[in-house]
Amino acid sequence: MNIPEVKAMLHIGHRGLKDIGPENTLGTFARALADPRIHGIELDVHRVKDESGTPYIVCFHDLRVGRLTGAKNRKIHKLSFETLRTYRILGTDQKIPTLEEVLSLMQGSGMIINIELKGKHCEAEVARLIEHFVEHHGYSYYQFVVSSFFINRLVKFHKLCPEATIAPLRGQLRSPLKVGKLKKLWAFGKQQLVKHKLLRKISKEFELGNAKVFIHVHIETVNIDLVKEAEALQIKIIAWGVRSDRHYRIAREMDLHGVILDDPVHCPEQ
């Protein structure tokens, strides 16, 4: 099991570990699994259907398939599952995997699985798969983190699977987040909870900074005021976009909960 002690910082492989292998593929996830420096993987998901209309959750970053497959640059959600399975990633022999295949690969490792809801309408199928693998394949809910730039998607998912951790994503800004920005973002999240008529109990859990809530922030936007504010709200910060030794040092110095990185060369074994 790769999970470090509580006080250690989590190392999560971005799209597997995209700088050492084709992103979001079983081969790269397997390399992350075998690396003692890595405690979890991050992946992106879309919902597609096969020719009979059966839904599948596939692991793929882009909204269009051209960059990664060399195929005609069509929107992924308009392609059938059968068509997608004929594609190969970045000229390798690696196929576009399903989330179910990835969870089967990682079974028994104890590693964190960070699922970013990249495409629309993924919430129900992702919740169903998480529940299935917890109930039948030895996973624990604590292993699952579900993130998104879209608060409404997290709200929908949380209603279906409140046991998993959710993580609003914040992108790279032109200037670091100022004092109060996190409160404004969190206030927006609570506003969305009310808007979507979730139970008051769930709203209260968010308000209290429930341990099942992280916030994913780009490393270039993190500053000490943001960290202190998050600590006061009992919100754990994970930094993404960690691509250098300097980035890793910043995360360490600010005692962040974890980092999402492209290459393990920037982090020591813990």
Average of pLDDT values for 142-150?
A: 93
C-alpha distances in Å from residue 108, one per residue of 12, 45, 52, 78, 85:
17, 22, 33, 34, 26
Average of pLDDT values for 201-224?
A: 66
Average of pLDDT values for 13-42?
A: 96
149/202: higher pLDDT: 149
pLDDT over threshold 60, residue 250: yes
Taking the C-alpha atoms of residue 123 and residue 161, their distance in angstroms, rounded to an integer, is: 9
Average of pLDDT values for 61-84?
A: 97
Average of pLDDT values for 172-176?
A: 49
Helix axes 181-195, 200-207, angle to 10 degrees: 170
CA 20 to chain centre: 19
Give pLDDT, residue 183.
60
Local structure of 58: helix, strand or coil: strand
Taking the C-alpha atoms of residue 253 and residue 83, their distance in angstroms, rounded to an integer, is: 47
Handedness of CA 139, 13, 1, 26 (dihedral sign): positive
Q: Give percent of the chain with pLDDT exceeding 90.
A: 65
Give pLDDT, residue 102.
98
pLDDT per position as a tens digit, 83-122: 999 999 999 999 999 999 999 999 999 999 999 999 999 9
Give pLDDT, residue 6.
44
Cβ atoms 242, 19 nearer than 8 A: no
Strands (E), the chain: 10-14, 40-49, 55-59, 112-117, 144-148, 165-170, 214-218, 236-242, 258-261
Give pLDDT, residue 12.
97
The structure's pTM equals 0.87
Query: Any idea which residue has 């980092």 for tokens?
Result: 259
Average pLDDT, the chain: 85
Give pLDDT, residue 160.
93
Q: Identify any residues that bridge with 40 across adjacent strands, giving them in sequence order.
A: 12, 112
Taking the C-alpha atoms of residue 2 and residue 166, their distance in angstroms, rounded to an integer, is: 21
Q: Which helix (H) or strand (E) holds 270?
A: none
Taking the C-alpha atoms of residue 29 and residue 113, their distance in angstroms, rounded to an integer, is: 11
What domains can be seen in the chain, in order of their start residue?
A: 10-63+97-266 (3.20.20.190)
How sure is the predictor about 270, in pLDDT bands with cuts at 50, 70 and 90?
Answer: low
Q: Give percent of the chain with pLDDT exceeding 70.
A: 81
Looking at 35-162, list the stretches that DSSP marks H as alpha helix, in order from N- to C-terminal side.
Answer: 66-69, 81-84, 99-106, 123-136, 151-160
